[in-house]
Every structure is written in C-alpha cells, then in structure tokens.
Amino acid sequence: MKQLARRRSLAALALCSPLILLIVCLKIYPTFYAVFLSMLDRKMNNFVGFDNFAFMISRPSFQLVIFQSVLFAVTAVILKAFLGFVLAHLMHNIRGRNERVWRGLLLVPWVIPLSLSTLTWWWLFDPSYSAFNWTLNMLGFEDIAFLGTVWNARLSVIAVNVWFGAPFFMIMYLAALKSVPEQLYEAASIDGATAVQRLFFITIPMMRNIILITVLYSLIVTFADFDIVRILTNGGPQDGTHLFATYAFVVGIQSGNIPRGATVSLFMFPILATLAFFVLRDVMKRNKEMA
C-alpha cells in the first residue's frame, strides 16, 4: 500500500515536472536573478547591497513614479471591481433570452490582445482626428487633449485599463453570484432585510473570498502593467504617466542601467507579497469555516 502510494506520488511528480521546469526557468530563476542584479553597481562588477534602492527612493523622479503607479493601480482596481460588480448584478438579475450574447459581448475587451486594443484607444484619443473630439465638436464642445496634459493622460490610462480589466471582474463576480443559494436571500427577506441589506449582509459576505482574491490578483497585475502606458503615452507627458514597468524599461533597457532597472521592477514586490500572504491566509481561514 505504502509502495503504491509512493509510486503514485512519483508518477504525479513526473507528470508535473514539465510545468515545474517551466516555472523554475521562466519565473523563479528570473526573480532571483533580478534580486541579484538589483544589488550590483552600474558596471555590474561590484556588490552594493541595497544602495540602489536607497538611491532610487531619494530621487524625486522615482518618487513621482511610485505615486503614479499607486494612483494608477489602486484607482483602476477599485473602478474595475466596482464596475464588474455592477455588471455582474445586471447580468444576474436581468435575465433575458440574449443573456449569453450580452455576456459574450461584455467579455470582448478582455479577449482582444491588449496592445491592439490600446492602439485603437490611442487613435480614439488623438487630438486632431479622433472620434471622441469629433463628437465633442459636433455637440459644440471644445477639443480635449486626452493625452496632452499630465492629469488627462493619467485618467486616460486608467480608463483604458478599467475598460480592459472590468470584464474579468464581471465574469468572476457573476460566477460567485450564481453560487449564492437563492434560499439565503429568501430567508433574509423573511428575516426583514431590504434589497440593500441583502446586498450588504448576504451577497457581499458570501462573495468576500472571490472579491479579495480578484482584487489581490488584479492589483498585482495592474501594478505590473506595461502595454497601455508604453503604447498610449510612452510615460509622458513630462514623465507624468510612468509606471514601475515602463520606468524600469526606460532605466534598465533604454538607458542601459540594468541593476537600477531591476531595482525599479522589484520595488513593489515586498509590499505585494506581504499583502498576498495576509489576504490568502484570511481566504483560507474563511473557506475552512464556511464551505
């Protein structure tokens, strides 16, 4: 019996090994290599410890990148989660014959390759020939320089990210909503709950784990976002939209300072890892209690 169990787990290990190898090569090794790189000097000859980190933090231009990244990620994730939640509720409660069609259409932004759809947005935002400004002019409004001023560009970048990411939240929340037993709502309405109270006392607590996991996942992915800014603004105007990833690219690849680039890209890692640890621990605990 023991032998059989050992043979089975060996077989399992053998079958998983290609994936494990892939993860080791493409994830774990580069991560450690990046940590190693971030502790070297520009010529990559001497070990300098955390000097690169200390230097980066002291520079106002990088402080701006930190501010922009946090603004971008936090705002975008909150908006995506909220929009996804609202859309999921609409999909769940307004049931028609075309429900599947609508669901499919709402997923479109998420399925189109991001760089392609961002190019479309770039064209839509164009100051002279864009559909947005044309419409505004038709209605008698002035042109808006969507990508021309710092704050407009920041908001535009966030808007595109929300447009792209909200469907993911919608589909996750829709699945979560569908798994809440109808009888809980019935019991709650008999207990005296209004629609709003049912939302706060039943729906949200029942979806809490999914909400936490999607927000965490999306936060990590959004902090690492590269495509939108790279294509839409390339970090401008006046470096006003740079995120960690695009700034790391500029510093590390374009300016040739690989260790500083690695430092930039690793900046959020400890914070996000700690957040992930606590969120996942809480999710596991609640899973054990509830399901």
| Residues in contact with another protein by the rule CB under 8 A | 181, 183-184, 186-194, 197, 201-202, 205-206, 208, 286, 289-291
Shortest Cβ distance from residue 200 to another protein (Å)?
A: 11
What kind and span of H or E run contains 80? helix 60-93
Quote the CA–CA distance of 214 and 202 in Å, as a whole number. 19
Tell me if 250 sits within 8 A of 235, measured CB to CB.
yes
Shortest Cβ distance from residue 219 to another protein (Å)?
A: 23
Nearer to another protein, 139 or 291 (CB): 291
Shortest Cβ distance from residue 168 to another protein (Å)?
A: 24
Nearer to another protein, 138 or 190 (CB): 190
Shortest Cβ distance from residue 94 to another protein (Å)?
A: 17
Tell me if 35 sits within 8 A of 267, measured CB to CB.
no
Quote the CA–CA distance of 215 and 76 in Å, as a whole number. 10
Helix, strand or coil for residue 234? coil
- Other C-beta atoms lying within 10 Å of the C-beta of residue 155: 16
Nearer to another protein, 104 or 181 (CB): 181
Phi, psi of 45 (to 5 degrees): -105, -35
Pairs from 281-284 (Cβ < 8 Å, separation ≥ 24): 282/212, 283/209, 283/212, 283/213
Shortest Cβ distance from residue 103 to another protein (Å)?
A: 23
Nearer to another protein, 47 or 200 (CB): 200
Q: Which residues pair with 47 in a beta bridge?
A: 40
Nearer to another protein, 195 or 280 (CB): 195
